[in-house]
Amino acid sequence: MSPLITPSELSGLAGATILDVRWKLGGPPGIESYREAHVPGAVFCDLDADLAAPAGAAGRHPLPSAERFQEAMRRLGVSDSRPVVVYDEADSTAAARAWWALRHFGHPDVRVLDGGLRAWISEDLPVAEGDQAAAPGDFVARPGGMPVLDAEQAAELAGDGVLLDARAAERYRGEVEQVDPVAGHIPGAVSAPTGENVDPAGRFHLPDFLRERFNTLGAVPGVRVGAYCGSGVTAAHEVLALEVAGIQAALYVGSWSNWVADPSRPVATG
C-alpha cells in the first residue's frame, strides 16, 4: 500500500482517524489555522507536544517515550483497528513526522494526505471550523516499527552507507544556521534537501522520479540508507519520500541538534 492518499480517496474512506498536523518552525501555533479550516472530522495533533519529547541534549524534537506517545494518540482517537490519515498545510513536512512516529510505534495503517489541506481545498471538498472532539482510542504503542539511528550509528552510516542531510543546501554547507548553535553537517553526509521531493504544489513526485533522485545520491539496492535534518522533522519527510520510492531508510531522530550538543563530534562544511 502506498503511504500516500489523495483527497478523493480520503473523501471516500470511512472510519479513518484524521490528524491535522500543521506546524511551522518558530510558529505561529498550528491550532489557530486548524480552527479556521480543517478536513471534516480531523483532530489537531500538536507536533511539539504529541510527537516529541521536551527539547534537550537529545535534540529539539527527540522521540517521546512509548507511554507518552500512546497517551497522546489515545487522546486524539487513534486505535489500532482504524486507519489513520495525517496531513498538514501542503508539503507533508510536519505530517511525515506523524506518519513516521505512528509507524515506529506500531500502527499498521497510516497514510499521508498528498498535498495536504491545500490539495483538499483545491478539489472543492468541504472544510470544517472550530475544534473537533475525539472519542478516546485504544492504540497500543509498540516501538521498533521503523529503524532509528543514534549519533554513533549515523556517523558509521555516513562512512559505509548513505546518510542523507534533508536540510536546505546552504545549511548543509554551513553558510547559514538560524536554529542550531553550530553550522555545517555530519562528515560524509550527502545533501538531499526535502524541497526536491515535492512539486511546487507540495505533492510528492512520482515513485520513479524519486527513485532516480535517490539512486543518483547513492541510495541504491544493497546500500544502507539513513536521513537526518535539524531536529528529526524534515528527515521524516525524507524517509517518507524514500518509502514512496521503494527504499527503506533509518531516521536519526536527534539529528543535527543532537549531534552538535556534544562538542567533541566532528563538523564538516562546504
The residue from 87, 122, 157 where one domain ends is 122
**Residue 168 shares a structural domain with residue 245:** yes
Q: Write the burial class of residue 14 (CB in 10 Å: 0-12 exposed, 13-18 middle, 19+ buried).
A: exposed
- pLDDT per position as a tens digit, 151-188: 999 999 999 999 999 999 999 999 999 999 999 999 99
Instruction: Over range 83-92, report the average pLDDT.
Output: 98
The residues, ordered by sequence, that sit 6+ positions from 264 with a Cβ below 8 Å of its Cβ are: none
pLDDT on residue 25: 85
CA trace torsion 259, 261, 265, 270 (10° rounding): 60
Take residue 252 and report the three cell numbers written for it: 536519526
27 has pLDDT over 90: no
**Residue 27 shares a structural domain with residue 107:** yes
pLDDT on residue 203: 98
Of 178, 201, 182, 206, whose CA–CA distance to 257 is shortest?
182
Q: Which residues pair with 225 in a beta bridge?
A: 162
**Residue 117 shares a structural domain with residue 161:** no
Instruction: Over range 61-88, report the average pLDDT.
Output: 98
**Residue 59 shares a structural domain with residue 110:** yes
**Residue 176 shares a structural domain with residue 211:** yes
Chain mean position to CA 139: 20
**Residue 116 shares a structural domain with residue 154:** no
pLDDT on residue 218: 98
Whether residue 132 lies inside any domain: the answer is: no
Task: Decide if 45 is catalytic.
Answer: no
The answer to whether the predicted template modeling score (pTM) of the entire model surpasses 0.75 is yes
d(CA 73, CA 61): 17
Whether residue 137 lies inside any domain: the answer is: no
- Bridge-based pairing of strands 148-149 and 162-165 is unpaired
Active site residue: 76, 96, 229, 251, which one? 229
Whether residue 166 lies inside any domain: the answer is: yes
Whether residue 74 lies inside any domain: the answer is: yes
User: Residue 250 — pLDDT band, cuts 50, 70, 90?
Assistant: very high
For 211, the domain range is 148-259
How far apart, in Å, are the Cα atoms of 81 and each of 75, 106, 195? 16, 12, 33
User: Residue 196 — pLDDT band, cuts 50, 70, 90?
Assistant: very high
d(CA 69, CA 50): 7
Whether residue 109 lies inside any domain: the answer is: yes
